[in-house]
Structure 1
Amino acid sequence: MDFDFILKYTPNFANAALLTLEVFVLGLLFSLCIGLFCVLVQYFKLKLLSQICRVYIEFSRNTPLLIQLFFLYYGLGRLGFGLESFSCAVLGLSFLGGSYMAESLRAGIEAVKKQQFEAALSLALSPYQVFRFVILPQALSVAMPSISANTIFLFKETSVVTIIALPDLVYAMTSLNSLTYKTDELLFMLFVSYLCIILPLSLFLSYLEKRLRYA
């Protein structure tokens, strides 16, 4: 193992890690927004939008992120709607993650007992207030383990965005490998980079689960 080589190219991986994190954070935020929107639509039984959300969820969950990125980056470009690789990566991750977050939140809401809803209505709360102050907090507590798993899953999926020439961690490894042929060192750096991000994220999510469970 050539540690001098590792030290020399650590800044390259650090920059790639920052870009990967930026894509992940934006994708996660948009995923949560999409998931919450789908759940709201289904909770308040808006028929047309509910049908659209169901189609979206099935389509998103049953197609690979790789195919979605190909469509966004190459397909839309052929149609005259070319997007940068960064935008395509965020959109693709959001499109995929939104469906998983929607299903996690839906399962959490369904786990809340109907008596909670009826009790809240008896206090003269509006349906929105019931959802905001009674249903959603309990649903989040139940759905948090699933949301945590989806969050880790989404970060791992960022490794696919290298296919659209985004200089993420995998792209940094492959491009440097084609120049230096230091495969062992570069794979080690890639492994450590992902571990240094995913392990703290996993520990934080576990802590958040416990806080919500006993809140």
Structure 2
Amino acid sequence: MIVDKITVLRQAFPYLLQGAGMTIRLTFFAVMIGIAIGTILGLARVSRNKLFKGLAKAYIEFFRGTPLLIQLFLLYYGLPNLGIDIQSHVAAILGLGLNSGAYVGEIVRSGINAIDTGQMEAARSLGMSYPQAMKYVILPQAIKQVVPPLGNEFIALLKDSSLVSVIAVRDLTRQGRLIISRTYESFLIFTAVAALYFVMTFIMTRLVNYAERRLNVGD
């Protein structure tokens, strides 16, 4: 019995690794999208322009107030009804990235607001414009504030990426389910899947901690 389970696991492992590779790629591109969107949203949320602030708030409220799974369904199953067909992995990356952008936006906003207002006043008194003061004075200091929560957000994003398995993306979770459909070894395969997720999140946690220590050097 044990030998049979080891054989099943050994045969399944290459496919699980392929799924883990897909999960990492999806998370990487979603993180890039999330950072880009979140930075824009965070800056809009602290701007003096009421239109930008209102649009950013509406975006954040929508994506934080609706389930990620429904957002994925809208992209993959809903857009074709409007004549827009996208591949499953593209829908997965967009869904994860757009959702993450809302959370990153709030993280960036809180990081900027954590900087003493005197910093902006001092920069403006030196003749800097508002964008210059934000770029050269506020944002460099805010980065140190946002690294820990950003790390937590990206770790959560990696785990949430398991939801893309429902739109036929062959990530780690879907690969596990496909193997189970052939072997009926639910406990064994899902344990292996959980172990691989743990390894990925453990490595990401260590990378975030390293980045945090590097940014704190000289404080």
Q: If the length of structure 1 is used for normalisation, what is the TM-score?
A: 0.95
Task: Confirm whether residue 121 of structure 1 aligns to residue 118 of structure 2.
Answer: no
Q: Which amino acid letter does the alignment assign opposite residue 49 of structure 2? A: L
1:91 paired residue among 94, 105, 119:
94
CA distance in 1, matches of 2:55, 2:132: 25
CA displacement 1:109-152 (0-9 Å, x = unmatched): 11100111111122222222211121011111112221111111
Aligned residue in 2 for 1:19: 22
CA distance in 2, matches of 1:76, 1:103: 27
Task: Confirm whether residue 55 of structure 1 aligns to residue 43 of structure 2.
Answer: no
CA distance in 2, matches of 1:10, 1:58: 40
Q: Which moved more, 1:103-112 or 1:6-15?
A: 6-15
Task: Confirm whether residue 33 of structure 1 aligns to residue 36 of structure 2.
Answer: yes
Task: Confirm whether residue 44 of structure 1 aligns to residue 39 of structure 2.
Answer: no
CA displacement 1:140-166 (0-9 Å, x = unmatched): 111222111111111111010001010
Task: Confirm whether residue 71 of structure 1 aligns to residue 74 of structure 2.
Answer: yes
SS in 1 for 2:154: helix
Deviating runs (4+, > 3 A) in structure 1?
none
CA distance in 1, matches of 2:47, 2:108: 14
Task: Confirm whether residue 192 of structure 1 aligns to residue 191 of structure 2.
Answer: no
Aligned-residue CA RMSD (Å) = 1.3
- 1:152-163, aligned counterparts within 5 Å? 152-163=155-166
1:202 paired residue among 195, 198, 205:
205
Q: Which moved more, 1:62-71 or 1:142-151?
A: 142-151
Aligned residue in 1 for 2:150: 147
SS in 2 for 1:167: coil
Contact 2:42–2:107 (8 Å) recurs in 1: no
CA displacement 1:84-107 (0-9 Å, x = unmatched): 111110111011100100101100
Residue 40 of structure 1 deviates from its aligned partner by 2.2
Q: If the length of structure 2 is used for normalisation, what is the TM-score?
A: 0.93
CA displacement 1:167-199 (0-9 Å, x = unmatched): 011100111101111122211210121112110
Contact 2:176–2:189 (8 Å) recurs in 1: yes
Q: Which amino acid letter does the alignment assign opposite residue 32 of structure 1? A: I
Q: Which runs of 5 or more structure 1 residues have no equivalent in the other structure?
A: none
Question: Matched residues, percent identical?
Answer: 33
